[in-house]
Structure 1
């Protein structure tokens, strides 16, 4: 007995210690439900997130959730949703983070918790920016600022600072400057002990580089110099170097090389001291450019070599952009000294790496689009499941009400039947059986009516669910259409950007011919030129595909003869190379049509005739004349013709009817598609070993 008593005393003592330790984890102001101070509650959650591991946090959250539900404390419940969302965000679980934040927002809107609502919107903006959804990030941050400015200036300043950074990264420099200045005015109104000078310096730097991009040197110098001075005063050496480097780049744009070099050198040394090699690499390349501008080629080469050494030894995932920047700079260094051979080699290396970088950018953009689509799909799925859960819960509640009502009705009917039965006993016994049957029939009818009402209610509920599903399908269809439009625009811009290095290749080929007399080298250059021209033609056809979907209504008056001759001039080199006998009989005439789409039709038809003309004695004839309100244009070649079985397929995308074809099978497909838009009829007449004639009937007015 004594041992058992001692055991219970020890157990009680241990439980007391455990209880006292639990109470130290959760402070009294939360346990006592002090609703007034939202900021104090959020500071508590921030403190436990920074000091506790995930397992302990989960235990604390579960305890607080029970406490909040038991005491019906909306502030604690909303703060819990925010804190859990923060934890999901730190774990890169973005869908769960948004879902948790949205639950918190619903509580805040219901109970008018403005400060908590603003803090949740601020964190949601961080999530949207992390998945490259900048419009949604800005929208969330604007809502957050409108709420936070009413309650806490420090949080409101952080919101403005974030918006300024988003606008700058989106190249909205005017908005970045305007919002950055608002942030500065706000932070300067705070007492010194509440001022986060690193964020203050960051905003000054953002405004300065935005003015630099707008080519407004006075304003840029003012803000960048302010940032550098403040960073030095407050002991933020790396920020000082960054601001000085940006200031140096501004002076470089102004042509003040000596001042610029001194400032960028400081940034270079500070970056090396703080092991910020990527920043040091960029600074070294810029210093090399400055020495090169002054024709100090030895010092320029020294910094270029230093940059290359740092790139080679830098431990990062993607060095390609740095190698591209270095190769471009060294190529210009060789060219400035007249060493065109090495310049050309470096230029080729730079172009090859740029092409790889462009390919990586395309893959990254496609991955971002897919990730965004997956993110939206998952968020919508969670919303739909939540909605379905609520509908199911409501359905169960209504069914329970129906059951209770049915039982109540049944009890009422039984009670009534008993009373009637007792009354009928006093009457004639002859009517007893008849009255019993009557009561049963009435009870059955009541039950049938209740069942009918239940079925009617369920049908209405099913119709409501179907309506919601149709709305969800429409929303997803709109989002999918938007994604397709983004992908279409991306392909157009990518093909346009990739044509620029191809133009560079063609230009370099022309330059190289002036320095080379070797026939074999000239032959290689000719093949390079042909290959580049083929790539340029392919990219132009990608741009054609974009124009076919977007450029239908821009009409203009077109003079047929100069318009067609301009198209033919594009192929002058090809005509000369193959010694094609090209004859034209074009009656001058004016039509009204879309120039870009008409150019797609004529260019692809003419290119097809030139390409498939006879190999030994190529001939192409183009005739045009007006006839009965239409302009008839015939393009004929003397090639081997088209197999009659393949005539119906020549307008299909990527179809090649001839092994001689070296294109991508898009020319006639694009021509036919543009002709259909412009109401142009295309007729083809082909004979084996005699050639092919395309006849176009073009309306005088589109």
Structure 2
């Protein structure tokens, strides 16, 4: 009877709820949700919703709303299977198409369950259906939510192009609705996805957009996260100045938020960036500041920071400060009783003293390192000897240990001894093998150094002999000509002939001057050390002034193609030598026709630069192709030079650690490619 009264009461309540919903604009949401919240126990809530679903099946909107509310209740209790069954009531209902927004929500919730169960294909199918419905009713907010969920699935499958496409569409939807916060957060998500896809330009664009938004919202944490991502991008692209500026902004934010650990972290990163581009003084100042921010309880960070500080002191020629920093690091290791750190710091200090010729102190610290290493090894051996396999019997008081010895115990004792000896011998054998291999490796290194040095000396000796012979031979020819011309000059009275002879003497003198100048340059280039800075190929091109319209080219068609994809660091003056001498060769050995050309193509990326110089001139004879970069070797018999142009090019390329490849056929031109590494 009581149960019947409850059913009647519920029916009346549901009917009343239905009537109220007809008299309010948002009446159903208000009455149904408020009534559900007023129920204290889950049992009452389920009873109320089940009653609604049972008695309002004819009123479709109320029925669908009740089903969705029951779904949410089941999801909260993590009853996904039952929740999915509730959604199917909407998806399989023949009248569901009359309520597209609720149907779209059902598809959206179904995709969430499948995504949580890692059934991503099914989840994507339901998301597609939801998007079609929301697009049909122009529900912009729901479209954006659906697109973001689809993007996450595609991102998980590494399909970044589709993920970015959907995220950008969702971002546009939020902007259209004027949802500022959502658009800012989504811009950050687009930046993160583009970064994972390796599209750094796109990532930078959206990170910068979201950064300005979070700055307006005064959200310091999000600003820091985005700036960290931008700093990483600038590091990958070797845009060091922008990375430095970003790290400075991060440090200011961390200081304002009193985040000491993060401040220290970014100061160390800034110091490392300064060190990368050779600004050692700035790197030192920043590292000193970082050390002040590292709390003394963080032993590892202080230890590593002190070692790095010591390196920077040495680079700035502050040896006293360097050894003080090393001793501080060593004291930290001693206080923490971290033996591996003590060994490491002792070796570094020994290397410091060894580099300065203080062999006594170097030996002392190496002895400390070796003694600790031996003690660690002895400890390991003792642990093996005291292994749990050892067994000793208990002997009662007054009994003879020999008389009562158990044969099984004796057997176990022998087994334990054999095992211990085997392990000990194995360890000794490993160390012997290691020692032999180390000695062998050292011997091989020494042999290689001796061989390399001997080869260098032989090459230098051969080069010197060639230098003396060729220079004396090439200088003797113009001197002989000058002597002959002077003899003719003495007996000549005709002014025209006198002018001719003096012109020829001047030409021979100029030839001698050019030979001596090139020889001097060869010696200078051998001694010079590259000065590394960022190379601007357009500036080098302008300084050389080799264009089709200039007087230098004598009608040769010269074209430049420069593509600088990333900053390139090298020595601009040596690169200028390579370009100048190679282009002069193209000019000197042209065929003389109107179709003569010289093409210069330069491409830079993060790994280095490729410089290609191609012409259609006389080419290089096959017999001298392999030795064309040697001293005094001429490409053709028609050459009027001393044969030092490409030799100087080879010296400059070697100084820049470059590689040269040559393609040429006689009468068909030549192609030289220089692959130069980035020396930053």
Q: Which one has a bigger Cα radius of gyration? A: 2
**Both proteins in one fold, TM over 0.5:** no
More helix by share: 1
TM-score, normalization by structure 1 = 0.37
